[in-house]
Structure 1
Amino acid sequence: MSKKWLSIIGIGEDGIEGLSLMARSLLDQAHIIIGGERHLSILSPNDTREKIIWKSSFQDSIAEIVQRRGESICILASGDPMCYGVGATILKHITIAEVSILPSLSAFSLACSRLGWSFTEVECLSLCGRPAYLLQSYIYPGAKLLILSEGKNTPRIVAEILRKRGYGDSKFTVLERMGGIHERILTGTAASWNETDIAALNTIAVECIADGETVTLSIFPGLPDDAFHHDGQLTKREVRAVTLSSLAPLPGELLWDIGAGCGSISIEWMRSNFKCRAIAVEQNSTRLNYIADNAAALGTPNLQIIAGKAREVIPDLPTPDAIFIGGGVTASGLFDVCWNALRPGGRMVANVVTLEGEQTLFQWYEKVGGNFTRISIQRAEPIGKFLGWKGMSQVTQWVGYKNSKFKIQD
């Protein structure tokens, strides 16, 4: 314990009275107390110790804590500091060997106890400091969602998203100030929700119920083409599914989507797991707007969108685990720059429909190997009163795996 100069204590609505003996002891021993105004207000007015309120720039407060390493500091936080809380952020800068963490019950645990829900059967997310459109990828029939609100307006925003998605019949519950004497539970449906007198500290519970003929989008690759706004520059559904299979996303990995078009590949990459990250590079201004709209509508608002020519912006991008090139394959030097940037063990996938594109891919193959696949898709379409097969443009796909630190010389 001699090395543990920083303690992070989770506090519930019952305040200091609800703390364990160990938590009380650490709080009493601290020389500096850090927290939000609500947390610091529970301390005695006669407490003369140094108190620090979180700065508007959270990183500035973290930097100050790091600078005061070794001093006796206690951070007061809400609920479980390791559940979308300050604890996880602190531990990116300070080792656990220096920190004592004593959690209280999280809002998720409290909500499950009030609703009779099994914690293992719910989807949990936080909209504190995060785009509300993250919710989009969590919505499906029968889903039970627990959502940490950013404030009193979050329930209204969530209800509106559900209504627009065709889930207005969803059971909607707002739980305020759980664990304290002012606890309150409000119930209704997303369609009928019109409460405005809501405490800033609240958690939302949703039982997702689709309205009638609502079409639900799968989380698996191959969304319908009409799920995206586009100008025709779109990797078609069947080819997209094959391409995502070749890219083989894993949680936490980063994709570069070069010549992103409407962003369909990077968006479906991110939808595969909430930890997946992607950067969409596109120079067409209209398509940049499509990417942003599609990312918000399909639950991946954190997709990073970069405007510009690939060769000009790539040097400033973080190292990718996978790269997809859907446009600009024949651009001079593009392959060399991308391949050298790819991490060892990463993979690169490119799709082309022209002979010139195939020639370029074969040149890449001669440099680093890989494999080719030709994708041929036919869709049934009306021919007068009948149906007939109409072939889509054949796609040649090249997949390369970077198995060493080999670099291509310019």
Structure 2
Amino acid sequence: MITVTVIGFDGGPLSDPARAALAEATLVVGGRRHLDAVGADIPPAATRLVLGALDGMFEEIARHEHVCVIASGDPGFFGIVRQLREYGLEISVLPAPSSVATAFAAIGLSWDDAIVVSAHGRELRPVANVCRAFPKVAVLTGPGTGAKELGAVLPDRTFVVAQRLGHPDQRIDTLSSHAAAHAEFADPHVLLCLDESRLTSERGWIAGFAGVPGRWALAESEFTHRASMITKSEIRALALAKLGPRPGRLVWDIGSGSGSVGVECARFGAAVLAVERDAESCDRIRANAATHDVTVEVVTADALSVLARLPQPDAVFVGGGGTDVIAACAETPATTVVVALAAIERVPETISILTKTGRTADGALLQSSRLSALPGDAHRFAATNPVFLLWGERR
């Protein structure tokens, strides 16, 4: 029977159980720097396997009875424990503090409210979108998905870059995201991405992202708006269902107005870019985002003048603008484009635009009647203006 012990290493002395496991090992697997660091505790007769990729590791493990795997920090936290278990091995784990915990400890900052994402071997875009949406994010980086690359695509953030944690040459650098885009860092490293304007000392009860908000399609009274110029809650409910906002996705809110759609998407954990040409409306969007404690990046401009320069969206909501704006949004790689229209004449052209860009078009005419009070404790249902909600989806 194969016994596999996974030892978390943080640069410090090994625990007695870890040293005892190594003393019995006939195979020790780990990165070169880990094997060098614990070399004095590895039996001379034991085989050492330098771990670059996982290729060949399991075949070598099958040839031994007592195996130790050395990994950074807590191997059960975005670590090798999952792969070993998936291969069917019975393992015991001796963890050290995770690299994320160590990085936050190095700057004396609590992290129970942090979002932790792994960029190792993954696309950069979803990771960047999480960093846009949340004020405190820890990123486990990889080649091509580190502080340099994230700094080049993110707005102003504070970066804390932790390199070679637990080693004598450990280095902690604090710099702006813009400065990080022009710097070099050792791979891999831990990146803490902080929006210091939104960091709070409020004590929560659940770690990280709290999940779907308890309410959505909020009443118009929960937003600042101008003369009822706001996407009504019934329209917002269906729009949210089609946009599918969630962590890792970027939603454009074009012709944002009060920003109600963008703010609600941000409440679901999505990154949001709101484009609105009216400066006073932009101030309202920022105020509404602050009221609901979310991040919405606001761009004050005519949509057609800036869309080509914005990060590519996963979904788009068009609440204002002509068919030329709709066409420009439909040309993006977004999987879903949702358009709200008041005029029936614009419906056929919008359907045509969505279809010509490879999307399956669908839609609904939404008209609701709301309970309204009358004198003498009587009530009636008062009709709201009808809205055509169209959407085009690309599978």
Q: Is 2:187 the partner of 1:200?
A: yes
**C-alpha distance in 2, partners of 1:89/1:115?**
31
**C-alpha distance in 2, partners of 1:296/1:159?**
23
Stretches of structure 2 that go unaligned for 5 or more consecutive residues are: 199-210, 218-232, 248-263, 271-310, 317-332, 336-353, 370-383
**Paired residue total:** 253
Q: 1:245 to 1:174 in 2, by over 3 A?
A: same
The secondary structure found in structure 2 opposite 1:91 is: helix
**C-alpha distance in 2, partners of 1:190/1:143?**
13
The one-letter code of the counterpart of 2:366 is: I
Q: 1:395 to 1:135 in 2, by over 3 A?
A: closer
Partner of 1:19: 14
Aligned residue among 83, 88, 95 for 1:89: 83
Q: Is contact 2:159-2:175 (8 Å) kept?
A: yes
Q: Is 2:161 the partner of 1:174?
A: yes
Partner of 1:134: 126
Deviation digits for residues 308-353 of structure 1 (CA, Å, limit 9, x no counterpart): xxxxxxxxxxxxxxxxxxx99xxxxxxxxxxxxxxxxxxxxx9944
Partner of 1:115: 107
Q: Is contact 2:140-2:190 (8 Å) kept?
A: yes
**C-alpha distance in 1, partners of 2:84/2:268?**
28
Q: Is 2:174 the partner of 1:184?
A: no
**C-alpha distance in 2, partners of 1:12/1:245?**
44
Q: Is 2:3 the partner of 1:9?
A: no
Aligned residue among 293, 313, 316 for 1:294: 313
Partner of 2:366: 375
Partner of 2:94: 102
Q: Is contact 1:377-1:394 (8 Å) kept?
A: no
Q: Is contact 1:377-1:392 (8 Å) kept?
A: no
**C-alpha distance in 2, partners of 1:160/1:186?**
17
The secondary structure found in structure 2 opposite 1:294 is: coil
Deviation digits for residues 194-227 of structure 1 (CA, Å, limit 9, x no counterpart): 563533342111212579xxxxxx98789xxxxx
Deviation digits for residues 125-146 of structure 1 (CA, Å, limit 9, x no counterpart): 1211111212233235771121
**C-alpha distance in 2, partners of 1:200/1:24?**
28
Q: Is contact 1:171-1:189 (8 Å) kept?
A: yes
Partner of 1:49: 46
The one-letter code of the counterpart of 1:375 is: L
Q: Is 2:245 the partner of 1:242?
A: no
**C-alpha distance in 2, partners of 1:205/1:148?**
9
**Alpha-carbon distance, 1:273 to partner:** 7.3
**C-alpha distance in 2, partners of 1:136/1:248?**
18
Q: Is contact 2:128-2:150 (8 Å) kept?
A: no
**C-alpha distance in 2, partners of 1:6/1:48?**
17
Q: 1:106 to 1:198 in 2, by over 3 A?
A: same
The secondary structure found in structure 2 opposite 1:118 is: coil
Partner of 1:157: 149
**Alpha-carbon distance, 1:244 to partner:** 5.5
Q: 1:151 to 1:118 in 2, by over 3 A?
A: same
Deviation digits for residues 228-280 of structure 1 (CA, Å, limit 9, x no counterpart): xxxxxxxxx976742755999999xxxxxxxxxxxxxxxx99x9579xxxxxx
**Alpha-carbon distance, 1:29 to partner:** 0.6
- Off by >6 Å, runs of 4+ in structure 1: 218-222, 246-251
The one-letter code of the counterpart of 1:158 is: L
Q: Is contact 1:30-1:73 (8 Å) kept?
A: yes
The secondary structure found in structure 1 opposite 2:313 is: helix
Stretches of structure 1 that go unaligned for 5 or more consecutive residues are: 212-217, 223-236, 252-267, 275-291, 298-302, 306-326, 329-349, 354-372, 379-388, 397-410
**C-alpha distance in 1, partners of 2:58/2:390?**
51
**Alpha-carbon distance, 1:24 to partner:** 0.7
The secondary structure found in structure 1 opposite 2:117 is: strand
Q: 1:77 to 1:117 in 2, by over 3 A?
A: same
**C-alpha distance in 1, partners of 2:185/2:131?**
24
The secondary structure found in structure 2 opposite 1:130 is: coil
**Alpha-carbon distance, 1:46 to partner:** 7.8
